[in-house]
Structure 1
Amino acid sequence: MDFHIKYITPDIKLSTYEDKLFKTENVFEFHMLVWFISGETKIIQADKSYVFKAGDIFLIPRNHLATIINYPKNGSPHKAVVMHLTKERLKEYYSNIEIKQKKLSGESKIYSFTQHPLLESCLASLIPYFDIKETFPDHIASLKITEAISILREIDESVDNLLADFEEPGKIDLVHFMEKNYMFNMPLERFGYLTGRSLSTFNRDFRKVFETTPQRWLTQKRLQLAYYHLTEKHKKPSDVFLEVGFEDLSHFSYAFKKQYGFSPSIAR
């Protein structure tokens, strides 16, 4: 795996990936503004999937589960500029702004600003700084992030619903959340956090409502989803295992055969 990250500040980075595929499942602790220079990214959320290509600009919300699959494309590496919009910086920004209509709904959608000239100019202006050996001045970094936030708000006023929402996850319905998000291969601690529970409380509540362990239930649900994709959608095992929450094709094939008595390669 050939993966490189350059930081000019902790909140502004340039990532380059030159291997065949890079997959991660994340709950980001801050919003991320991404400008795609080359390559391709597929982002899978519980109820929607997105594909982004060179030139696309998008905003990923914090505290929402997502599977992210990055690919090089057409001989070019997967390359992107990423800006972190932290809660601390956003609080400072919004402390001096009166929001016209503040309807905070916990919106989980990914905002797309494909090839918008103002945003692209803002993010492209960062490129030369990645080749400068001197320390990037904090006040310039702050100006760049403030500029990006201001442009986002100018393009789409509804982005305030996302950026000005500083609430942390509260205790929510466990069954609804798990039925919606079981395909994300996250540590149980993260599932607990997103449902407003400690790990011990999550495990206790889970056993109470599902009458089994989280690990067993998650494996069974992921295999059921894989079976649907293979038999009804006629997808290939190599296209399915990552999307349903498995990390390794051989492990997926073993678990699938153990569950259904035949290999996923003949399920189609």
Structure 2
Amino acid sequence: MRSIAENTTTNILKEQFIPDHVFIYVAKGALRIFDGDTNYIFKSGDAFLARKNRLAKYELLEDKDPFEPILFCFDEPFLKEFQAKHPYKKSGSKTNKALINIEKSVFLTSFIKSVKPYYKDVMELDADFEDLKYEELVIILLKQQPELIDLLFDFAPQQKINLEAYMNKNYTFNVNLERFSILTGRSLSAFKRDFKTIFNETPNRWLVKKRLEEAHLLISKKKQKPSDIYLDLGFESLSHFSVAFKKLFGITPKELR
């Protein structure tokens, strides 16, 4: 019901927008995650919490074992119900990080071992044990990292944020305008209106141009290959990237190299 699954058959995983907090334990394999600022590497035995309403890019890394995660998705109804049963006091600690490392502990190690028998499929818990195991995990997380109380039980709606700064940081994420509007605390119409005022351009045109200008810099100055950068810059295919690049600059990415 709350568990989520990822397609792990390819080394490149597209951008993900996660509307709920997600606990991820890397049982096998390794992955890289880019949150717009920082690259994180997680290997077998590592655990982290992916914060809700954030963007991230995931890439599976070469490893002797295929990637195998254990995931728990904490949706708002569950967390509100949990809070009503377990009224933890807020810690007053705040973080703006999209990914929070979860410390290794005896409690967490024992929990991971205990939960494996209850998985029906790769990412699906037996319904009879789901609520119990979800509550157990949250109790463990809050016991060893009390600062997570403020994060998990913050149910306030997304606040309106600085649109210019946000877009200049996250323009490489290939998500639709409606998602960008939600993440910046605006309706879609308000997002488009504010965007036009700030950038004097429509969002779609600005995004393509901004990505292509970055591509031009990476290819001409840093000698990177078009095939190595088009996905990271938010293009869905190499051919689409090449056509758009030539339309703006008059030459193909290969000709620039």
TM-score grouping bracket, smaller chain normalisation: 0.7 to 0.9
Question: Secondary structure of the equivalent of 2:241?
Answer: helix
Question: Secondary structure of the equivalent of 1:26?
Answer: strand
**Which residue identity is paired with 1:128?**
P
Query: Paired residue for 1:64?
Result: 54
Q: Per-residue deviation at 1:109?
A: 3.2
Q: Per-residue deviation at 1:62?
A: 0.2
* RMSD of aligned alpha carbons: 2.6
Taking the TM superposition and a 5 Å limit, the aligned residue runs for 1:248-263 are 248-263=237-252
Larger CA deviation: 235-244 vs 113-122: 113-122
Aligned equivalents of 2:9 and 2:191: distance in 1?
Answer: 39
Aligned equivalents of 2:181 and 2:198: distance in 1?
Answer: 14
Q: Per-residue deviation at 1:260?
A: 2.8
**Pick from 166, 171, 194: which aligns with 2:160?**
171
Taking the TM superposition and a 5 Å limit, the aligned residue runs for 1:19-58 are 19=10, 21-58=11-48
Q: Per-residue deviation at 1:117?
A: 4.1
**Which residue identity is paired with 1:179?**
N
Q: Per-residue deviation at 1:208?
A: 2.3
**Which residue identity is paired with 2:82?**
Y
Assess if the C-alpha contact under 8 Å between 1:18 and 1:77 holds in 2. Answer: no
Assess if the C-alpha contact under 8 Å between 2:94 and 2:147 holds in 1. Answer: no
Assess if the C-alpha contact under 8 Å between 1:55 and 1:114 holds in 2. Answer: no
Assess if the C-alpha contact under 8 Å between 1:22 and 1:69 holds in 2. Answer: yes
Q: Per-residue deviation at 1:238?
A: 2.5
Aligned equivalents of 2:173 and 2:7: distance in 1?
Answer: 24
Assess if the C-alpha contact under 8 Å between 1:15 and 1:81 holds in 2. Answer: no
Relative to the length of structure 2, the TM-score reads 0.86
Assess if the C-alpha contact under 8 Å between 2:17 and 2:56 holds in 1. Answer: yes
Aligned residues: 254
**Which residue identity is paired with 1:175?**
E
Aligned equivalents of 1:193 and 1:16: distance in 2?
Answer: 25
Query: Paired residue for 1:246?
Result: 235
CA 1:173 to 1:121, structure 2 compared with 1: closer, same or farther past 3 Å?
same
CA 1:155 to 1:236, structure 2 compared with 1: closer, same or farther past 3 Å?
farther
Q: Per-residue deviation at 1:262?
A: 3.4
Query: Paired residue for 1:236?
Result: 225
Larger CA deviation: 91-100 vs 191-200: 91-100
**Residue deviations 1:73-99, cap 9 Å, x none?**
33x322211100112222222333232
Question: Secondary structure of the equivalent of 1:144?
Answer: helix
**Residue deviations 1:52-107, cap 9 Å, x none?**
22222111000011122235633x322211100112222222333232522445x2
CA 1:115 to 1:264, structure 2 compared with 1: closer, same or farther past 3 Å?
farther
Question: Secondary structure of the equivalent of 1:184?
Answer: coil
Assess if the C-alpha contact under 8 Å between 2:93 and 2:150 holds in 1. Answer: yes
Q: In the alignment, is residue 215 of structure 1 matched against residue 204 of structure 2? A: yes
Q: Which runs of 5+ in 2 are unaligned?
A: none
Aligned equivalents of 1:113 and 1:16: distance in 2?
Answer: 23
Taking the TM superposition and a 5 Å limit, the aligned residue runs for 1:40-189 are 40-71=30-61, 73-74=63-64, 76-95=65-84, 96-99=86-89, 101-104=91-94, 107-113=96-102, 116-131=105-120, 136-138=126-128, 140-189=129-178
CA 1:231 to 1:158, structure 2 compared with 1: closer, same or farther past 3 Å?
farther
Q: In the alignment, is residue 11 of structure 1 matched against residue 8 of structure 2? A: no
Aligned equivalents of 2:208 and 2:7: distance in 1?
Answer: 33
Percent of counterpart pairs with the same letter?
A: 36
Q: Per-residue deviation at 1:197?
A: 1.7
Relative to the length of structure 1, the TM-score reads 0.83
